[in-house]
Chains A and B, each alone.
Chain A
Amino acid sequence: MSFFDAFLNWDVFVQTLPLLVSGLTITISLGLSAIVLGLAGGLLLVLLRLYGPTPLRQIATGYIDIFRAIPLLVLLVVIYYALPFAGLRLTPFTSATMALSFVSAAYSAEIFRAGIEGVPRGQFEAARALGLNAYRRMSDIILPQAIKLVIPPITSNSINVFKDTALASVVAMPDLLKQATQAQALSANPTPLISAAVIYIALLLPLVRLVSVFERRLAAKGR
């Protein structure tokens, strides 16, 4: 068998493409929901951690630490395989969305915190001196500046979340990787796996480039 027949087999590629496309749509919807939920959760967590009443502040801090310490794959397996023993049976998609967004929320919270702490003190003081309430100080003055500061690391984190969707294949989720391995088994040829790898790269490479562009732009502005 030649190299092309084995790894870049056109016929196999065409045959298995529908399978890969169905996997891709699941990967994309899983990635997007986890990213959006992770960002929303991260924002909530950081506000509780920085400005919440003491007990909530401690809970938020504990959450952020624990979910940065637990391996994502372990969390995913616990949610999918262990929770049913507590009577909670979740679909692979729900389990994967939860695991990904729980962990992403913890990382996002830390990134947002760096952003908020990067906003100069005088901005907080001016907002307070004008009589803006806590909600308006955040929504109108602090967060717009903080989020601008953390666009590069937040994009980076989103890329990681998207890549980690591949772990969901462990819980029988028919995502891009799972479909590719199945297609490989069916066709007895690794071309679908190579195709999947190329699709992941094609999807994420532009975003990786974008992070560098953001970073350069931010650095130029900082001067």
Chain B
Amino acid sequence: MAAIIDIKNLTKNFGGFRALDGVDLQVAEGEIVVIIGPSGSGKSTLIRCINQLEEHDGGTIAVDGHAVQKGADLTAIRTELGMVFQSFNLFPHLSVLRNVSLAPVRVRGLSWPEADARARKLLERVGLKDHIDKYPAQLSGGQQQRVGIARALAMEPKVLLFDEPTSALDPEMVGEVLDVIQQLAKTGVTMMVVTHEMGFARKAANRVVFMDAGRIVEQGPPDALFDTPRDERLRNFLNAVLSH
């Protein structure tokens, strides 16, 4: 089966800092890949390169067979990639409903009634039926992030990218967001999730990828990675995050 995301020898520098140092990663359709690693290991940069919020310096990325590069039709590629951000990045001047229905109208060409109907359905699915006419500032962090997820889903993307979706949340709200993501994982959509939530990684992932210093150090099924880590850096990382 062809990989829906195919990354080869990817490099990215920020000034003199090498954020990605030759990353190879293939993600199959329907796969849930969770990326873990210490801060600055390049995991966020990796998924931000996939939809070109960061331009990579070397190597290749293909999404569903289309090369992601300068001059490519990024709109077409981004349409197939839903992104959920650490800081939600909801549009504060638009209602919750419009946050979700805007892009389907502007990019997919849906009519407003069609897009609003789709948005209502999605917002209901993430448990926000009673909040559709509110504005983002009126919602809690957990609610905002669920709107963020609905907004990404409304484009019916082939792949969902999550960039530390729970890192900006108060602890009591992490669960409600992870629940939503876990439900999504069961629907067969392809997902790449950068997270520090090891419990979530173990439960939801088909494959866990451990990154350090811009490289993929170790990857495999969650049980193997968490129970019998081979690389010393992974062992140290797991000790550090699981010991508290």
A143-157 Cβ-contact flags toward B at 8 Å (1 or 0): 011001000000000
A125 and B89 form a contact (CB under 8 A): yes
Question: Please, how many angstroms separate the alpha-carbon atoms of A148 and B135 in the complex?
Answer: 16
B78 and A125 form a contact (CB under 8 A): no
Question: Please, how many angstroms separate the alpha-carbon atoms of A140 and B155 in the complex?
Answer: 17
Residues from chain B with a CB closer than 8 A to the CB of A128 are 51-53, 74, 78
A120-149 Cβ-contact flags toward B at 8 Å (1 or 0): 101101111111110010001100110010
A136 and B85 form a contact (CB under 8 A): no
Residues from chain A with a CB closer than 8 A to the CB of B92 are 145
A129 and B78 form a contact (CB under 8 A): yes
Interface size on B, residues (CB 8 A): 25
CB distance from A48 to the nearest CB of B (A): 22
B93 and A129 form a contact (CB under 8 A): no
B53 and A133 form a contact (CB under 8 A): no
B53 and A132 form a contact (CB under 8 A): no
B106 and A140 form a contact (CB under 8 A): yes
CB distance from A51 to the nearest CB of B (A): 15
A132 and B85 form a contact (CB under 8 A): no
B53 and A123 form a contact (CB under 8 A): no
Given contacts A136-B106, A140-B102, contact A131 B85 (CB under 8 A): no
A131 and B93 form a contact (CB under 8 A): no
A138-179 Cβ-contact flags toward B at 8 Å (1 or 0): 001100110010000000000000000000000000000000
Residues from chain B with a CB closer than 8 A to the CB of A140 are 102, 106
B62 within 8 A of A: no
Residues from chain B with a CB closer than 8 A to the CB of A136 are 106-107
Question: Please, how many angstroms separate the alpha-carbon atoms of A120 and B91 in the complex?
Answer: 10
A123 and B155 form a contact (CB under 8 A): no
B81 within 8 A of A: yes
CB nearest to A126 among chain B residues: B89
Given contacts A122-B89, A125-B53, A144-B93, contact A131 B79 (CB under 8 A): yes
Given contacts A131-B75, A131-B107, A132-B106, contact A141 B91 (CB under 8 A): yes
A122 and B85 form a contact (CB under 8 A): yes
Question: Please, how many angstroms separate the alpha-carbon atoms of A125 and B53 in the complex?
Answer: 7
A130 and B107 form a contact (CB under 8 A): yes
Residues from chain A with a CB closer than 8 A to the CB of B103 are 130-132
B10 within 8 A of A: no
CB distance from B76 to the nearest CB of A (A): 8
Q: In B140-188, which residues have CB < 8 Å from any A CB?
A: 151, 155
B40-70 Cβ-contact flags toward A at 8 Å (1 or 0): 0000000000011100000000000000000
Question: Please, how many angstroms separate the alpha-carbon atoms of A133 and B85 in the complex?
Answer: 19
Question: Please, how many angstroms separate the alpha-carbon atoms of A123 and B76 in the complex?
Answer: 20
A131-B103, A140-B102 given; 18 more Cβ-contact pairs under 8 Å: A122-B88, A123-B89, A125-B85, A125-B89, A127-B91, A128-B53, A129-B53, A129-B83, A130-B102, A131-B74, A131-B76, A132-B102, A132-B103, A133-B106, A136-B106, A140-B106, A141-B91, A145-B92
Interface residue ranges, A against B (CB under 8 Å):
120, 122-123, 125-133, 136, 140-141, 144-145, 148
Closest 5 CB pairs of A and B: A122-B89, A126-B89, A130-B103, A131-B78, A129-B83
| 7 A-B contact pairs sorted by A residue (CB < 8 Å) | A120-B89, A126-B89, A129-B81, A130-B151, A131-B75, A132-B106, A145-B92
